[in-house]
A and B are shown apart, each in its own frame.
Chain A
Amino acid sequence: MLSIENLTAGYNGSEALHQVSVRIEPGTIVSVVGANGAGKSTLVNAISRLVTTPSGKMTFEGRDIMALKPASVVELGIVQVPEGRKLFAPLTVMENLRLGFHRLAGRSGSDKVFKDRLDYVLGLFPKLKERADQRSGTMSGGEQQMLAVGRALMADPKLLMLDEPSLGLAPMVVDQIFDILKMLREDGLTILLVEQHAEEALKLADYGYIMAVGKVRAEGTGPALSKDPALHHSYLGKPGETAA
């Protein structure tokens, strides 16, 4: 579905990704794990075309996306849940969800599609229905993360990218979010999960990549990577610990 070959990317001339290659097959969860500064978020932002990518190749469903603008990438069905959630704090839950629907808004029959997407999202996150008229900035961190995921799902993505969805959340809430991701995979959605909580993310993943200092250092099936003590020791800290 998504193929990245030898990608370099960075900010204002400084390179944060060096010759990174990643493949994502349809209907799978691919986890990218690594410590702070590994280049995980840059990878997500490079796919979303939010950072400059001087060289490399990226194709989505066979189409070259290197020259696309961010809105065109979303138009293709690649939607991200940004790090730190980036909700529109002054807007209500419902307005944030409507913004997530921007990709499909204005098309013929979009009212019906909107209602279907809303039913789907509120089915996954019933709490959002109770909070529909509440300003998103006033919700708890866990609720905000649910809204951020729900907002992205409103776009009916083909590839959902989540950048550190567990950031600042209690373990119980993280488990809930990961359970939702499993359900989404069962529904056929393809997911790219970028996480510092390496062990949980790799256990969840069909395939995983371990990144450090802007490069892919190891790759393999999620469970295999999560059980490899040498990799943990080298790049993520001891097994069972969260990478710092």
Chain B
Amino acid sequence: MPLATKRASVWPVVAVLALGVALPFLLSGGFQLRIAMLIWIFAILSMGFNLLYGYTGQISMGQQGFYAVGAYAFALLQIKLGLSPVLAFAGAVAICAVLGLIVAYPLLRLRTHYLAMATLGFGLILNGVANRWIDFTGGTAGLTVPPLTWGGEALGRTGIYYVVLAIAGVVFLLHDFIARSHVGRALQAIRDDETAAAALGVPVRRYKLRIFVLAAAIAAVAGCCFSVVSLRVDPSLGEFHILVSMLTIAVVGGLGTRFGPLIGAAIVTILPQLLLQFGAAETLIYGAFIVLFLLFIPHGLAGLVENVRWTRKSAAPARTAATNVLEVKG
């Protein structure tokens, strides 16, 4: 292949999505299908986080807030305004995008842990609102989300799975397109050195703003999907454990990689189910697993896969945010 046209292929993404289409025929029982849906939902959420932190280096600890706002907006637009699920979905995503813009405009002047703390504060505010504005949000009890219907009938579990898969597929393709395009490289340049990126003509602030808004919108998409699957939204969606899950997915899957969010989401969703048999030791084993990952596979599983390819063929190991931290600053 000529040097100039050598680019990463989209076919692995298509293959994964094809596997997703076949999954309901391979799984036995509704519980497994629900796990599969949760994997896609966490993959969506983590793809936004990956674009924001993994590719652009902007650490936001308020993504769970956008996730919760998306879920609540999806429910409330249907309950209070009587909108159809499609319009409620579009409205919820738009609301989060605007909210993301409002938050990003002042906060993106901050960097590193200052940005992390400021966005964490935003997440805590939203969680407080969800808990205490009882008339609007239902308080700790939350809200019941109307089920998706098709031809007047409530959609079955398999139908809901394909709705979630279709949405996840669109987000996955968008995430992959950005990662492989000149925009993705520009984002990585911002992550590595903002001044050098600016010197090459990358409009740093504009890109940071856009990617923050996009990540907020993607979190809203994940929140809507969760509402559709669980038929319930409550303040736990905006709590710290969602952020911890995202960070764990990033560690396990690999930050700044094309497939890290999906691989990480699959492991972080399935592993706790497998560890249930260990009873009280479950948390201990899960924690040890994460520590071992950090010690031995710091670039995540997606990074590991790319490194294997590197040792066989080329001199370019996986380029991840972790690589950057380890080698540029080290």
Measured CB to CB, the residues of A under 8 A from B are 48, 50, 69-71, 74-75, 79-80, 82, 86-92, 94-95, 98-103, 105-106, 114-115, 118-119, 122, 129, 131-135, 137-138, 151-152, 155
Residues of chain A contacted by B198 (CB below 8 angstroms): 48, 50, 70-71
What is the minimal beta-carbon distance from B201 to any residue of chain A, in angstroms? Answer: 3
22 contacts between A and B (CB under 8 A): A48-B199, A70-B199, A71-B203, A79-B200, A82-B196, A88-B193, A91-B185, A91-B189, A91-B192, A95-B188, A95-B319, A101-B182, A102-B186, A115-B2, A115-B5, A118-B4, A119-B4, A133-B315, A134-B315, A135-B316, A137-B327, A155-B200
Residues of chain B contacted by A114 (CB below 8 angstroms): 4
Q: In the complex, A75→B327 CA distance in Å?
A: 31
Contact A134 B316 (CB under 8 A): yes
Contact B4 A115 (CB under 8 A): yes
Contact A69 B203 (CB under 8 A): yes
Q: In the complex, A231→B327 CA distance in Å?
A: 43
Contact B201 A155 (CB under 8 A): yes
Cβ-based interface call for B328 (8 A): yes
Residues of chain A contacted by B201 (CB below 8 angstroms): 70-71, 74-75, 79, 102-103, 155
Give chain B's interface secondary structure class: helix
Contact B327 A89 (CB under 8 A): yes
Cβ-based interface call for B78 (8 A): no
Contact A102 B188 (CB under 8 A): no
Which 5 A-B pairs have CB atoms at the shortest separation, nearest pair first?
Answer: A74-B201, A86-B196, A71-B203, A133-B314, A105-B182
Given contacts A70-B201, A135-B316, contact A88 B196 (CB under 8 A): yes
Given contacts A71-B202, A102-B202, A155-B201, contact A132 B188 (CB under 8 A): no
Contact B323 A102 (CB under 8 A): no
Contact B203 A99 (CB under 8 A): no
Residues of chain A contacted by B314 (CB below 8 angstroms): 133-134
Residues of chain A contacted by B284 (CB below 8 angstroms): none
The residue from A90, A151, A152 contacting B327, defined by CB atoms under 8 A apart:
A90
Contact A82 B188 (CB under 8 A): no
Give B1-38 interface residues, CB cut-off 8 Å to A: 2-6
Extra contacts besides A99-B202, A115-B5, A118-B3 (13): CB < 8 Å: A50-B198, A88-B189, A88-B193, A90-B192, A91-B189, A91-B319, A99-B200, A102-B186, A102-B200, A102-B201, A118-B4, A133-B314, A135-B316
Residues of chain A contacted by B91 (CB below 8 angstroms): none
Q: In the complex, A52→B44 CA distance in Å?
A: 41
Residues of chain A contacted by B200 (CB below 8 angstroms): 74, 79, 99-100, 102-103, 151-152, 155
